[in-house]
């Protein structure tokens, strides 16, 4: 029983420390696209276009008559997605 509790605590601690660097993917994409498009962030809409079970998620940001595509890297602990590490323009 103690071993099982320690394993759970280790998983929670690993996820917490890993996600201390996690960001909100839509918010990160909105901020980056706002800058790249020279468009106010309130005018930028973000939609997830592809979600993979394992791997990165794709997002499309549009605003001020333009569109950009972003790929966001997800963080995993024991193959369980726990957050987004970073997003970059494709």
Cβ distance 89 to 69 under 8 Å? yes
pLDDT of residue 45: 97
Give tens-digit pLDDT for 9-56.
666 666 566 566 677 899 999 999 999 999 999 999 999 999 887 889
Distance CA 30, CA 14 (A): 28
**Domain boundaries, given as residue ranges, for the chain:** 2-89
pTM, to two decimals: 0.75
Distance CA 48, CA 8 (A): 31
The pair of three-digit structure tokens given for residue 22, joined into one six-digit string: 């996690």
pLDDT of residue 20: 63
Distance of CA 10 to the CA centre of its chain: 23
């Amino acid at each position: 029983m103690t071993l099982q509790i320690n394993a759970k605590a280790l998983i929670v601690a690993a996820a917490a420390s890993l996600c201390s660097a996690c960001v909100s993917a839509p918010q990160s994409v909105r901020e980056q696209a706002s800058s790249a498009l020279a468009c106010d962030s309130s005018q930028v809409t973000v939609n997830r276009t592809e979600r993979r079970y394992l791997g990165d998620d794709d997002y499309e940001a549009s605003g001020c008559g333009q569109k950009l595509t972003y790929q966001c890297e997800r963080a995993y602990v024991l193959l369980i997605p726990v957050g987004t590490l970073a997003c970059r323009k494709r």
